Amino acid sequence: MLSQSTIAIIKSTVPVLEIHGVAITKRFYEMLFENHPELLHIFNHANQKQGKQQTALANAVYAAAANIDKLESILPVVKGIAHKHRSLGVKPEHYPIVGQHLLAAIKEVLGDAATDEIIQAWADAYGVIASVFIDVEKEMYVDAATQNGGWEGFRLFKVKRKVIESEVITSFYLVPEDGGPIATFEPGQYLSMKIDIPGEEHSHIRQYSLSSIPGLPFYRVSIKREDGMSDRPDGRVSVYLHKTIQPGDVLHISAPAGDFKLHQNDSRPVVLISGGVGLTPMVSMLRTLADTKTNRAVTFIHAAQHSGVHALKAEVEELVSQHPDYSAHWIYNKPSDEDRESKAFHKEGYIDLPWLREIVPVKDAKFYFCGPLPFMKTVNKALKDWEIPSEDIHFEFFGPAGALD
């Protein structure tokens, strides 16, 4: 337990963290990798270069400081990060290393303002926060390894099939090389895939949502090829998977993880909203709802640029056609002439609240959404403006957690 004086000191630093948080976390990662380059095998290099990881950590540190006297209130956030840590292979021995460099970064960035008293308070607070993470992750490691078909660390999986779903998305069907059973998962969860690209010094680990249903003898992940743009390079891993990996090749996979899950005990209607490759966990949820034969009405909404990049469309339409209480709605912001002629989509433009009101039968429902960050911000604002209760809004970030409000 932290003393009241320590809690008071930590809370007093909240305004400073709001201003200097990203500078602190940027310097933290620089120092961490300089002194422990082996950790580059765990962290996503692209997120580091784009500043996403620094911002995500700054937000997490800020939240921890603001809630240091009631850490239980941020337990959902802790669990989300812990799922990612377990899937990556973060272990208890990593926490002292992180703590040492985080404190050093605080001291360096804040200079004389970071007094010995403040640094000691943060050292005490970090010890408590680290213990929370270690305890939560310990339980997750045990669950992942001891469940039927589970395993510890990374397991070898063979690519059984490779199916092109659109111009940019390809599905990979994965089966265990050892022929044994595989762990089940919750619709919405992801796999971590460790890739060693020839000629590159460090391994890459990426998370990909499962787009199949639980209980099958294989996993399916549907991966978007991240082509480079003016402000960012090609996605090293996604391009490698699309261009190089073929059926018969072997990949290193960690057991399913993630706290974005379909609430199957709720009997109310379900609204699934996706943008781009964000449809992958939604398809898993849709297929699960159909497979379990629940009587819940489902509205599936997907936004894409045009039909050429719209993956798994036929699969969703077939499922919807088999259930009278299901509906699917497509919105394209750059439809082709062929799209317009064939009426391959239902609306041109972007998702907004008037359209949601028009196509969603009832607002007393569970809402799930996933996609690019600007898309998620738009959907989140629309649902908030519609006064959907926060407990009925569920979303998944691809990459480090960001802020939607």
Residues belonging to the chain: 405
Angle formed at CA 52 by CA 47 and CA 53, multiple of 5 degrees? 75
Q: Which amino acid, one-letter code, is at 332?
A: Y
Asked if 177 is an active-site residue, the reply is no
**Among 130, 68, 123, which Cα is nearest to 95's?**
130
C-alpha dihedral over 314, 319, 320, 322, to 10 degrees? 130
| Residue 190 annotated as lining a ligand binding site | yes
| Residue 279 annotated as lining a ligand binding site | yes
| Residue 402 annotated as lining a ligand binding site | no
| Residue 209 annotated as lining a ligand binding site | yes
| Residue 276 annotated as lining a ligand binding site | yes
Phi/psi for 237 (5° steps) reads -75, -45
| Residue 207 annotated as lining a ligand binding site | yes
Angle formed at CA 30 by CA 24 and CA 34, multiple of 5 degrees? 145
- Is there a contact between 241 and 197 (Cβ–Cβ < 8 Å)? no
The span from the first CA to the last CA of the chain, in angstroms, equals 32
| Residue 398 annotated as lining a ligand binding site | yes
Task: State the catalytic residue, choosing from 29, 30, 72, 137.
Answer: 137
H or E, element range at 94: helix 94-110
| Residue 274 annotated as lining a ligand binding site | no
Asked if 318 is an active-site residue, the reply is no
Dist CA 35 CA 312 (whole Å): 45
| Residue 280 annotated as lining a ligand binding site | yes
Q: Which two tokens stand for residue 159?
A: 């690519």
Task: State the catalytic residue, choosing from 29, 95, 219, 368.
Answer: 95
| Residue 179 annotated as lining a ligand binding site | no
| Residue 281 annotated as lining a ligand binding site | yes
| Residue 278 annotated as lining a ligand binding site | yes
- Residues identified as active-site: 95, 137
Question: Known binding site for heme b: residues?
Answer: 85
Residues of each annotated binding site for FAD: 190, 206-209, 397-400
Could you list the residues known to form a binding site for NADP(+), using ranges.
276-281
Annotated binding site: 85, 190, 206-209, 276-281, 397-400
